[in-house]
Amino acid sequence: MYPARMPVVRLSELLGRPGPAAFLRGVVAGGRYANAYLLVGPAGVGKGTAALAFARALLCDARGGTKEQGGLFEAPDPPSAGTRATAAPGPPDDACGACPSCLKAAQLQHPDLRFLFPVSGEEKELETTVAETLQSLRDDPLYVFSYEKAASIRLSMTRELLRELGYRPFEAARRVVVVRDADRMREDQYSAMLKSLEEPGASTVWVLTTARPARLPATILSRCQRVRFGPLPEEVVAGFLRERAGVPAKTAELLAALSSGSLTRALVLRDGDPADERDAALQLLGPAARGEAAELWRAVQGFTKFGRAGREVLRRMIEFQELWLRDLLRARYGGAEVPLVNADRAGVIRKEAAGIEAAEVRRRLMVLEEVLRAVEGNVTPELALFSGLSRLTRQRFKGAAWPPHPTPRWDY
Ligand SMILES: [Zn+2]
């Protein structure tokens, strides 16, 4: 059963990914740790969850996470022999889930687990922002990290940590520093981290995650053991949404199809009404097909007036169109029994599919791909969508004036 109020799960509970999870479990079982691990892969596929799960396993008492009594380190006080004796031995390659260290780490309250993540906003509110984020993460097992473009791992957050690095861990045999989106740091932070990475026999294990490894300095990259994460299979995303997020089966499938293998994306989409959004997206094609330039321009602008958020909405609009087109292909060539993503509109899709050639559907998909790329790039998104939709419906808007750029550009 999913531990509903444990923000940090165990390695064995990671979602459908035998590869990276097996690797990390192998590392735990082997008991020899590199100074740093870099979990690389697209956003929202579970790198952050895996990083914390790995940290928990490294700190587990049953895995030798606690300092040896009479060994190199002093025993923590009060002596924890009693609790250690009762701690379950647990699996050899994962956190036991029951010892004091595991429980503390699961609540992100282990003194030797440092968890850094990007934040934005005023420096004076930083502590509150961090505390609130951690609390949300504890309270909501489906918590989704989302930050603005300018969010970064702030100097004031690493300062204390960097001081601590000079000392022994508080309770555990090692300190684990998890850095989410480690590509959002400053040069001097990397230099300080590098010093720790280069230290032989260091008592700190760094676990970094990134979706943009190219932004990390080569000096850091070369000292990290890399672990690659791929997109989650659609059925894993759909299953999670159904079983753990209480999403109805049909919506779950639609969301999973839209998620590109990112659970985070699926969860963000869930907060809207996917069926309504899809209908709004499909309605955009109406004015385009009728050649109503001004109407289309107004509709397009409706999506983009919210700045960066508008861009995200717009991207989704395009993806809804793509899903629809893929359904047309499925319906036309897959036969009546092939399941459709837009199952609630199966009748409309099958009718439309009967009247359209595969080549035309592919042409439209290609146009949409170009629009998507343009939206991701620096093109004004409403212009990209406007011209894309007119190409989609082969409308040239002859005689109509190209709509003037109506508002000053916002800052991308
Ligand atoms: Zn444990």
Q: What is the mean pLDDT of residues 60-68?
A: 74
**pLDDT at 412 (0 to 100):** 32
Q: What is the distance in A from the centroid of ligand 1 to the CA of 192?
A: 30
Q: What is the distance in A from the centroid of ligand 1 to the CA of 75?
A: 17
Q: What is the distance in A from the centroid of ligand 1 to the CA of 58?
A: 9
Cα distances (Å, whole numbers) of residue 340 to 111, 143, 158, 363:
49, 29, 49, 20
Whole-number percent of the chain with pLDDT over 90: 33
**pLDDT at 21 (0 to 100):** 92
Strand intervals (E) in 200-295: 204-210, 225-228
Q: What is the pTM of this model?
A: 0.74
Q: What is the distance in A from the centroid of ligand 1 to the CA of 26?
A: 17
Q: What is the distance in A from the centroid of ligand 1 to the CA of 140?
A: 22
Among 412, 325, 324, smallest CA distance to 374 is for 412
Among 225-239, 312-326, 386-400, whose mean pLDDT is lowest?
386-400
Residues within 5 Å of ion ligand 1, judged at the Cβ atom: 60, 62, 95-96, 99, 102
**pLDDT at 308 (0 to 100):** 59
d(CA 14, CA 390): 44
Q: What is the distance in A from the centroid of ligand 1 to the CA of 336?
A: 52
Q: What is the distance in A from the centroid of ligand 1 to the CA of 24?
A: 16
**pLDDT at 395 (0 to 100):** 64
What mean pLDDT is reported for the chain? 82
Q: What is the distance in A from the centroid of ligand 1 to the CA of 115?
A: 18
Q: What is the distance in A from the centroid of ligand 1 to the CA of 95?
A: 5
**pLDDT at 67 (0 to 100):** 61
Phi-psi region of 263 (alpha: psi -120 to 50; beta: other; left: phi over 0): alpha
